A = this chain, B = another copy of it.
Amino acid sequence: MSLIVVGSIAFDSVETPAGRADDVLGGSATYFSYAASFFGPVRLVGVVGSDFPTAFREMLEKRNVDTAGLEVAPGKTFRWRGSYQGAMNAAQTLAVELNVFGSFDPKLPEKFRDSELVFLANGSPQVQGRVLDQVRRPRLVVADTMNFYIDSAREPLIQLMSRIDGMVLNDEEARMLTGITNLVAAGRRVLAWGPKFVVIKKGEHGAMLVTPTGVATLPAYPTDRVIDPTGAGDSFAGGMMGYLATQKTFDEAHLRRALAYGTVAASFNVEDFSLNRFQQISRADIDRRLDEYVKMLVV
């Protein structure tokens, strides 16, 4: 089924205990679409500035990412600078220049309006809602958000949740949004606002799936090769949605497998800066690691 993502495209400068990278390709829609592209075609909607190299667009096109929705606006591309320390669980943002992303009002190309799976990467809930208005008859809508919008646009976010199937949050966001410390209870509180499922990402501690009928926690893939966690959450979502786009149903068993694919996608992403590790692997590598992961969970 067709899969669309709307989100940010950025130049990131990142420093981690393992090294640094400057002005490398990043952004939620970038990581998402690359990860999802291992599973099938992806439709990308985003905005970049006139400084965005055509080579990057071509690289994405070669990955089966349709960039018809990639708007080039006068000005500079979104830039983010951050660092990670210790166990690299949380990024410290050192600088943000929204640039053209600051006034981004996504217009879906006509040919994208029949998209069946929709991923609304982290953005203002109002903008996420306007994207949704442009999709005719989506079969599965999943949204992400971040602390900034939970704080500044709580009501619009809660309204958005009544229009979506799945909400993706990290542990800190789930607690902030609900005021509940226990993640199972926090997940159930989010369900009460409308989504059919909630995925709570816990970084190196894995992810939790909460539905009206059950809860599943899955560990991260264990690795001692963590170079840069930037984009891990979006790669997770890309693996998850990319897999679901190949399926006919979205029941709990399929959602658990989707979380497993998300986990594996994220585990590759953190092994190098930017998209570097993704560019070295194929779907077969993902399936091999998924197989290892599945076996590890036989207890």
Contact of A217 among B87, B216, B220, B257 (CB under 8 A): B220
Bound form: Cα–Cα A260–B205 in Å: 17
Q: How far is the CB of A289 from chain B (nearest CB, A)?
A: 12
Contact of A219 among B181, B182, B219, B294 (CB under 8 A): B219
Q: How far is the CB of A9 from chain B (nearest CB, A)?
A: 30
Would you call A215 and B219 a contact (CB within 8 A)?
Answer: no
- Tell me the residues in window 44-89 of chain A with beta carbons closer than 8 Å to chain B beta carbons: 86-87
Complex: chain B residue closest to A217, CB-CB? B219
Q: Is A281 on the interface with B (CB-CB < 8 A)?
A: no
Q: Is A25 on the interface with B (CB-CB < 8 A)?
A: no
Would you call A217 and B182 a contact (CB within 8 A)?
Answer: no
Give the interface SS of chain A, mostly helix, strand, loop or mixed: mixed
Q: Contact string, A230-262, partner B, CB cutoff 8 A, digits 1/0?
A: 000000000000000000000001001101100
Q: Which residues of B contact A284 (CB under 8 A)?
A: none
Contact of A205 among B184, B206, B224, B293 (CB under 8 A): B206
Would you call A188 and B299 a contact (CB within 8 A)?
Answer: no
Q: How far is the CB of A247 from chain B (nearest CB, A)?
A: 14
**Number of A residues, CB within 8 Å of B:** 35
Q: Is A94 on the interface with B (CB-CB < 8 A)?
A: no
Bound form: Cα–Cα A48–B188 in Å: 44
Bound form: Cα–Cα A215–B224 in Å: 10
Q: Is A218 on the interface with B (CB-CB < 8 A)?
A: yes
Q: Which residues of B contact A212 (CB under 8 A)?
A: none
Bound form: Cα–Cα A82–B84 in Å: 32
Complex: chain B residue closest to A205, CB-CB? B205
Q: Is A202 on the interface with B (CB-CB < 8 A)?
A: yes
Q: How far is the CB of A161 from chain B (nearest CB, A)?
A: 20
Q: Which residues of B contact A216 (CB under 8 A)?
A: 222, 296-297
Q: How far is the CB of A256 from chain B (nearest CB, A)?
A: 5
Q: Contact string, A252-291, partner B, CB cutoff 8 A, digits 1/0?
A: 0100110110000000000000000000000000000000
Q: Is A208 on the interface with B (CB-CB < 8 A)?
A: yes
Complex: chain B residue closest to A292, CB-CB? B214
Q: Which residues of B contact A202 (CB under 8 A)?
A: 205
Q: Which residues of B contact A220 (CB under 8 A)?
A: 217
CB within 8 Å for A224 and B294 given contacts A206-B205, A218-B219: no
Footprint of B on A, CB under 8 Å?
17, 86-87, 181-185, 188, 202, 205-206, 208, 214-220, 222-224, 226, 253, 256-257, 259-260, 293-294, 296-299
A-B contact pairs, 22 of them (CB 8 A): A17-B181, A87-B181, A87-B182, A182-B226, A184-B222, A184-B223, A184-B224, A188-B224, A202-B205, A206-B217, A208-B222, A216-B222, A217-B220, A217-B296, A256-B296, A256-B298, A259-B299, A260-B299, A293-B299, A294-B299, A297-B297, A297-B299
The 8 closest A-B pairs by CB, nearest first: A217-B219, A260-B299, A297-B297, A205-B205, A184-B224, A185-B224, A215-B222, A216-B296
